[in-house]
Structure 1
Amino acid sequence: MYSIILESLQYSLKYTIKIVPIVTIGIFVANFLINTGIMKKLDKLIKPIASRANISAISTLAVATCTFSSTAGFSMLSEGLNEKKVSEKEVIATTLISSFPSILSHLFTFFIPFVIPILGVITGTIYIFLRVVIALLKSIIGIILAKIWLKTKVMDAQDNANKRLANPNHYIVPTTPTYTQISKKSLKSTYKVLKRIVIVMVIALFVISILDKLGAFENFKNIFEPISNTFGFKSEIVIVSATEILDTRAGFIVAGDFLNKNILNTTDVLIALLLGNIISFSTRFVKHSLPLHVSLFGYKLGTKIVMINAITTLLIDVLFIAILIGLF
């Protein structure tokens, strides 16, 4: 048993040491770009999308703001709703429209610095592409709902009336930090995120290695065999999905490990991660999304927003899993 523990520890540390430098560089660069205001330049991608929907100036700005902070964007909507400048239907539609800009912010904070190093360039890029397309589809659904619910475009007079609310300075105090300050802030953020990632990575790989050497995965295969056989999945796919439910990053680490060992291929990993997202969506939305939305929009509307967003994500994820199974 001692030798198994020692070998597993060596394996987990070796893999972590190999991958951490890449992740560190990615996280630091991402934080540096965010702190220099590069995320705000993504507004050019967002405004054409928002302009196609019949939403107000406040909602348009909220959608653009979601490229660097969903909380800040939703806070704008909340204030607009409280001042009766935005209707409940517009709030629901706008939260769906904001899905695409929100995923853009995750590109620099999670997908590029973490997912690609763990899954590799090809599998990681394909997964990111799928998540971006899923978010874009949600935004399109939001635009369609806005066109149906909000029959007429918001007039310029109303936009002018909303000028105080739509002023970014009303929410964000502009600062001009030096590059030294930005670098220090980025290093501090990188250390904070990296500390959590390294701990999860070492523990996850250590546990995986021990379970593998003890033959636990064979037992897991037997447990998940009925589920796997029903949907035609490899049992390891269900293991990745189950791990993702417990911890998102751990799920990616397990998937990357199976991929490196050729236990799963790219398609298997994509299905596993999408499946894990589906299984864990209820827990994730209840733990994170519900408290935020209820605090901003009240219990009734907040719950409605979370449910609509969750169900939309669920249905689109199921569709993409079906496509992957059908094609491959």
Structure 2
Amino acid sequence: MLREVLPRIVRIAVFIALGVYAANLAVEFGLIEHVAGVAGYLTRPANLPDEVGTAILTTAASTTAGYATLAEYRESGLLDDRATIVAVMINTFFGFLQHVFTYYAPVLIPILGLRTGVLYVSIRAGISLAITVCGVLIGGLVLSARNVDRSALAAIDGVSEGSDGTGNDGGGGDDGGGDGDVDAGTDADRTTRDRAVAAAESSYGTLARIVPRLAIVYTLVIALVNNVDVEALTGVAEPLTSALGLPGASVAIVAVYSLDTTAGAVAIAPLIGETFTPRTAVATMLLGGIVSFAVSTFKRSIPFQFGIWGPEFGTKVIAVNTAMKLVFISIAVGGLLLAP
């Protein structure tokens, strides 16, 4: 079990370290201001601060880093729970965008063929975009200044409570950075090395909080997976495929796909054009995604979300993500099968 757990923990820890450090470097060098300006088109209609948009855009490069940054904003008090949930919803499309370049385009489309592959990826993109748009709309309706404490940005950026409020006191503030007595006008004089060291110090707290928790949860989940017959969970597929009028072979495809996306794509690819049309093939794979929620939540979502947020709030994030995906995947499946 240790051989299975350690590589996952190390890989995720590396992604967290690189992503959070890159985000902190952006803060130290002032790049955050430029990125936040672009992200503001998403966050302002949702009544979220521009800085949250930076974390959301970071998700396109690293899902773990984007979530870790949002977790830092929540734990610092910048966002309350409601605002964080909205930010997580807006995050959805950018998390998907990363996988287009790392998995869907180089792996899945070549397996399924151009027509079926592009149709599947386009629908998955539409589902993710719909959730993001819903997040923006919900934020505009339910969020206000009560859900955001902008004074918490001082703690995030390492500004002491005794600063003049400009954010340029160059200090490590309350976190013991050691520069709290530096004048506000000396920030421009800090060397590249100073900024790199400050970014590393800011990153350490996030890593120290998340990685140990992640290691514990992953170990527990893998231990349970090794002793539970998760394949039995896919037995629900048969009544679903029958009710939707999908080919009988779809039951086996859903079972395989729900446990491993690539294996499911490999299994259905030779049947496209004979047993399946591109639309019924995509509907079957989407149905596999619905059935797989029990499996994927147990094997991936719980370890990841609990590791990032902790069990209580992580459960809320999983519930919202799952509910939104179920709704829009169901709509997409219905649209595929009912369209003329």
Determine the C-alpha separation between the residues in 2 that align with 1:256 and 1:44.
43
Q: For residues 106 and 81 of structure 1, what CA distance do their matches in structure 2 show? A: 26
In 1, the alpha carbon distance for the partners of 2:91 and 2:150 equals 24
Question: Are 2:107 and 1:114 aligned?
Answer: yes
* Deviation of 1:161 (Å): 3.2
CA-to-aligned-CA distance 1:72-101 (integer Å, 9 cap, x gap): 111111112221121111111111100011
What is the CA–CA distance in structure 2 between the aligned matches of 1:73 and 1:288, rounded to whole Å? 17
Change (3 A) 1:155 1:142: closer
The alignment status of 1:128 with 2:121, answered yes or no, reads yes
Is the contact made by 2:70 and 2:84 (CA closer than 8 Å) also made in structure 1?
yes
Match for 1:137 among 130, 133, 145?
Answer: 130
Q: Which residue pairs with 1:105 in the alignment?
A: 98
Match of 1:243 among 256, 281, 285: 256
Counterpart of 1:65 in structure 2 is: 58
Q: Residue 238 of structure 1: CA displacement?
A: 2.3
Change (3 A) 1:227 1:150: closer
Structure 1 144/262 Cα, relative in aligned 2: closer, same or farther at 3 Å? same
Counting only pairs closer than 5 Å after superposition, residues 245-324 of structure 1 correspond to structure 2 as 245-259=258-272, 262-324=274-336
Q: Give the structure-2-normalised TM-score.
A: 0.62
Deviations 1:225-249 (A, max 9, x none): 7654432111122221111012111
2:175 aligned residue: none
Q: 5 Å matches for 1:188-267?
A: 228-259=241-272, 262-267=274-279
Q: Does structure 1 conserve the Cα–Cα contact (< 8 Å) formed by 2:55 and 2:66? A: yes
2:274 aligned counterpart, secondary structure: coil
Report the residue type matching 2:294 in the other structure: S
For 1:188-212, what per-residue CA distance to the aligned partner results, in whole angstroms no more than 9, with x for missing partners?
Answer: xxxxxxxxxxxxxxxxxxxxxxxxx
Number of the residue aligned with 1:23? none
Gaps of 5+ in 2: 1-21, 23-30, 159-166, 168-194, 202-236
Q: CA deviation at 1:58?
A: 3.6
What is the alpha-carbon distance in structure 1 between the residues aligned to residue 84 and residue 269 of structure 2? Answer: 38
1:29-48 maps to which residues of 2 (within 5 A)? 47-48=40-41
**Contact in 2 for aligned 1:100/1:139 (Cα 8 Å):** yes
- Say whether the 8 Å CA contact 1:55–1:153 is kept in structure 2: no
Instruction: Indicate if the aligned counterparts of 1:58 and 1:80 stay in contact, CA closer than 8 A.
Output: no
Contact kept in structure 2, 1:58 and 1:77, CA below 8 Å: no
1:248/1:326 CA distance change after superposition, 3 Å = same
Structure (1/2) with the larger helix percentage: 1
- Distance between the aligned counterparts of 2:242 and 2:73, measured in 1? 51
For the residues of structure 2 that align with 1:272 and 1:286, how far apart are their CA atoms? Answer: 22
**Alpha-carbon distance in structure 2 between the residues aligned to 1:277 and 1:123:** 16
Letter in 2 for 1:231: L
Q: Residue 87 of structure 1 aligns with which residue?
A: 80
Q: Any conservation in 1 of the 2:90–2:136 contact (CA below 8 Å)?
A: yes
> Looking at both structures, which has the greater relative contact order when contacts are Cα pairs under 8 Å and sequence separation is at least 6?
1
- Shift in alpha-carbon separation, 1:296–1:230, aligned structure 2, 3 A: closer
Secondary structure of 1:127's partner?
helix
Instruction: State the shift of 1:162 in Å.
Output: 6.5
